[in-house]
Structure 1
Amino acid sequence: MSFTGLYEFLRALQKNNSKEWMDDNRKWYHEVRDFYIDWLNQMDLKLAEIDPDYTHTTGKKAINRINNNLLYHPDRPVYKDHFGAGLDQETKQGDFYIHLGTSESFIAGGFYKPKSSLLKSIRQAIDYNGEEFVDILEKPSFKKMFGGLIDDGESLQTAPKGFSQDHRFIELLRKKTFAVQHDLTQKLVTSSDFDDHVVEVYKELLPFRQYLNQAVSV
């Protein structure tokens, strides 16, 4: 099994997104899932070598369910068109998320629409030491890899409660998502360089996640 096989399975699932098809191809699904879990286990060890604060996360814990939640989203297909997984998992810690899908593949990190208590802590950190956060965001290699913060379309139009409208970091303080994304091509994912690329993305993302993690831990 390989990432090429993973994408082949997802394309077939996308064309036949039903429980009947999945039941008929359950063995194929488990072969792909087991491959991805094994790869996540290997990546878990590699990331732990470069980050002393890394939290070991097994592939089985990291991988997300492929079933959509039809109870809350009955209009969605039965199954997702991607495999998603979160490594370096710890309570109240920003994500390191790997998404491999037919329509898009990417690595993302940070806090996507965090709950109000975490969002409040992040804003307080920016108020206290926004210069450090801006330096991280403006670092040329970081901007090249991630661009800017993900736009969730839900930024406040005014200043959040407790902050002045003319605050020097008002544009950051208005945001409700503090996450970035690095897009991947299927060609890269299926290449021999993919593991090394994931490590490089993790390294570049580390100061960003460390800043946010420290913000929500105090």
Structure 2
Amino acid sequence: MSFYKLFEFLRDLNRNNNKEWMDNHRKQYHEVRDFYIEWLNQMDIKLAQIDPEYSPTTGKQAINRINNNLLFHPNKPVYKDHFGAGLDKEKGKGDFYIHIGINESFVAGGFYKPEKKKLDSIRAAIDYNGDEFKKILNKKSFKDTFGGLMEEEKLKTSPKGYSQDHEHIELLRNKSFAVMHSLTQKEIMQDDFQDKLIDIYKEMLPFRKYLNHAVTV
């Protein structure tokens, strides 16, 4: 089994996105899923070796369901076009998310559109020590890897309790505090793919630690 087979399965599923097809190809799905779970188990061991504060997360704990939630999103296809998984999982904290899909693949971390309590905590941390956060974001290797924060949605004015002329107002306006690094299918199928992800994990670590500290203190 390989990532080539995983992509092949996802392409077939995307062309036949219905329960009947999935039921007829359940064995193939489980073979691909089991391969990915074992690959995640290997990543879990390697990340635990480089990060003393890493929260062990088995592949079964990490992997997301392939079914879309049609209760809340009835217009979505029955099945996703990707396998998603979150390593370094700990309740209340942001994980290290790996997204392997036919339309896009990436790794990400931080907090994407967090609930109000977490968002308030992150803003309070920036208010208290935004210079440290800016230092992380402005590091050349960090910018080369992630470009910057995902800024899909920002407040047009200042958040409640913060003045318009706050020295960190541009950061405080963010509704998400997450970063992402895009991956190609060619990169994913290389023998050194896990090594590449470890390098990305290391680069993201100070960013994630700052945010996790903010939401837990």
Q: TM-score range by the shorter chain?
A: over 0.9
Q: Could you list the structure 1 runs, at least 4 aligned residues long, displaced by more than 2 angstroms after superposition.
A: none
1:134 corresponds to = 134
Q: 1:22: which partner in 2?
A: 22
Which residue of the partner structure matches residue 101 of structure 1? 101
Unaligned runs of 5+ in 2: none
Superposed, 1:1-218 pairs within 5 Å as 1-153=1-153, 155-218=154-217
2:162 counterpart SS class: coil
Q: Any idea what SS the aligned residue of 2:57 has?
A: coil
Looking at structure 2, the residues matched to 142 and 107 of structure 1 have their Cα atoms a distance apart, in angstroms, of 14
Letter in 2 for 1:53: E
Residue 152 of structure 1: CA displacement? 2.5
Distance 1:108 1:191 in 2: 20
CA deviations over 1:85-111 (Å, ceiling 9, x no partner): 000000111121000000000000000
Letter in 2 for 1:27: K
Count the aligned residue pairs: 217
Q: 3-state DSSP class of the match of 1:71? A: coil
Aligned to 2:120, what secondary structure does the other structure show?
Answer: helix
Q: If the length of structure 1 is used for normalisation, what is the TM-score? A: 0.99
Cα-to-partner distance string for 1:57-108 (whole Å, 9 max, x where unaligned): 0100100000001111110000000000000000111121000000000000
RMSD: 0.6
Q: Percent sequence identity over matched residues?
A: 68
> Hey, what's the Cα distance between the residues in 1 that align with 2:158 and 2:50?
39
Q: Shift of the alpha carbon at 1:193?
A: 1.1
TM-score, length basis structure 2: 0.99
